[in-house]
Amino acid sequence: KTKLTIGLIPADGIGKEVTPAAVAILESLKGPLQFDFINLDAGFEHFQKTGKALPEKTVETLENACDGALFGAVSSPSHRVEGYSSPIVGMRKRLDLYANVRPAISVPSAQNANQTPVDMLIIRENTECLYIKQEKIETDPASSLKVAYATRKISEHASRRCGKVAFESALKRDRLRQSVPLNQRVWKGKPKVTIVHKSNVLSITDGLWRETVRAVANDEKYKNVDVNEQLVDSMVYRMYLEPQAFDVVVAPNMYGDIISDGAAALVGSLGLVPSANVGDKFVLTEPVHGSAPDIAGQNKANPIAAIRSAGLLLEHLGYPDEALSIYNAVDAVIKEGSVLTPDVGGRATTDQVTKAIMDKL
């Protein structure tokens, strides 16, 4: 294919500033690949206007007319709003985007010279765990105080397919690493998958997760991949002290959500890390960050997470060379260090960073 149709869902806050930046980069790619973009509605603002956070038309257009999609960010309120439910969680479910692939990769530069290098890939289960949102609240008759419960779902089906993505990713990363000189690699060993869980406490739910993902490792295809485990709390501890100890990390939905923001801090900013929501039929990529209401509308959001997400989109749609040219252009701008947004120590605007990356393509 030389023409791709991409759905764009900027949604709320800085999503509306960083999605156009990603589009600008795709449009300035050299080579024969062309794009048609379709703008689609979703988000909290759209909900306030229309009563729908995820219009049916958006889901149908993604399913029927798009090769893939780029999502910005949504401003989900922290309090319950009648009739509202997060559209990104909804899209992951509706399109069966069962694994969330989150590379956290640092680029060495003068600014971060004393930062530990990071090159890890977090695979977050994307359809279940506590995010099925089965919650209830009761009043304890004895005390008249409220008690709230949430159901946590872990299935063998979802754990297995997420586990497979982790092992496949480990093999792929290992293949790609072969072209990098050993002294430039952060991860130098055999491919490794670390299974994150808390089955010392949650022996039934996390126990099923752990056993199921471990069983994936028994496949002959993965005989060269090392497997180890890390309890989620010590995972955070170790990741901060020794991020180079991790290659691929696979985690249930909520642990994966939390660990990946932590990994973003190690890399330097949430504004740098992209993610891909992948299923068997569709891929939707998005920055890991949210709508950042504290900086929205000020032209200072870092567009790199969204731009790298456009790269991930091309990678997952089967255009690795185009993806690589985006990653290389981003890396060059980070290395130079003169045109960066305030979150990574610079003074440039969103537009200036986008332009600088464009000039490197």
List of residues contacting ligand NAD (CB under 6 A): 14, 18, 73-76, 88, 270-271, 286, 289-295, 301-302, 305, 341, 343
**Residue 324 class from Cβ within 10 Å (0-12 exposed, 13-18 middle, 19+ buried)?**
middle
Question: Rounded CA gap, 151 and 137, in Å?
Answer: 12
Distance CA 300, CA 339 (A): 12
- By a kind-dependent CB cut-off of 5 to 8 A, residue 6 interacts, out of ligand NAD, Mn ion, none, with none
Nearer to Mn ion, 74 or 158 (CB): 74
Q: Mask of contacts with Mn ion, 207-246, x by CB under 5 A?
A: ----------------------------------------
CB of 269 to ligand NAD, least distance (A): 6
61 binds, among Mn ion, ligand NAD, none (CB under 5 to 8 A by kind): none
Dist CA 198 CA 80 (whole Å): 28
Whichever of 173 and 289 has its CB closer to ligand NAD, that residue is 289
Indicate which of ligand NAD, Mn ion, none lies near residue 76 (CB less than 5 to 8 Å, by partner kind): ligand NAD
Q: How far is the CB of 286 from ligand NAD (least distance, A)?
A: 6
Our CB check for ligand NAD shows the closer of 18 and 276 to be 18
**Residue 128 or 343: which CB sits closer to ligand NAD?**
343
Least separation in angstroms between residue 120's CB and ligand NAD is 19
Closer residue to Mn ion, CB minimum distance, 120 or 314 = 120
Q: Nearer to Mn ion by C-beta: 45 or 257?
A: 257
Contact 53, 85 (CB under 8 A): yes
**Contact between 286 and Mn ion per CB under 5 A:** no
- Which residues face 277 on adjacent strands? 100, 284
Q: CB under 5 to 8 A by kind: which of ligand NAD, Mn ion, none does 301 bind?
A: ligand NAD
Least separation, in Å, of the C-beta of 290 and Mn ion?
A: 7
Closer residue to Mn ion in complex, CB, 129/348: 129
Q: How far is the CB of 343 from Mn ion (least distance, A)?
A: 16
Q: How far is the CB of 68 from ligand NAD (least distance, A)?
A: 17
Q: Regarding beta strands 192-197 and 283-287, do their DSSP bridges make them parallel or antiparallel, or are they unpaired?
A: unpaired
Tell me if 227 sits within 8 A of 234, measured CB to CB. Answer: no
Choosing from 12, 41, 206, 257, the residue that interacts with Mn ion (CB under 5 A) is: 257
DSSP string, 282-337: -EEEEESS---TTTTTTT-S--HHHHHHHHHHHHHTT-HHHHHHHHHHHHHHHHH-
Taking the CA atoms of 61, 64, 70 and 76 in sequence, report the sign of the dihedral they define. Answer: positive
Of 18-26, 103-111, 171-179, 253-261, which segment contacts Mn ion by CB under 5 A?
253-261
Q: How far is the CB of 270 from ligand NAD (least distance, A)?
A: 4
3-state secondary structure 15-71: HHHHHHHHHHHHHCCCCCCEEEEEECCCCHHHHHHHCCCCCHHHHHHHHHHCCEEEE
CA gap 158, 188 in Å, rounded: 30
Residue 337 CB contacts under 8 Å (≥ 6 apart), including other chains: 109, 110, 111, 346
State the number of binding residues for Mn ion (CB under 5 A): 1
Q: What is the smallest separation between the CB atom of 131 and Mn ion, expressed in angstroms?
A: 10
Pick the closer one to ligand NAD by CB: 73 or 170.
Answer: 73
Return d(Cα 36, Cα 89) in angstroms, integer: 25
Angle at which helix 205-216 crosses helix 156-177, to 10 degrees, equals: 40
Residues 6+ apart with CB under 8 A from 259: 122, 196, 232, 235, 236, 239, 249, 251
Q: Which is nearer to Mn ion, 74 or 283 (CB)?
A: 74
171 vs 133, 302, 322, CA distance in Å? 34, 31, 21
User: Considering CB distances under 5 to 8 angstroms, the limit depending on partner class, which of ligand NAD, Mn ion, none binds residue 257?
Assistant: Mn ion
Residues that bind Mn ion (CB under 5 A): 257
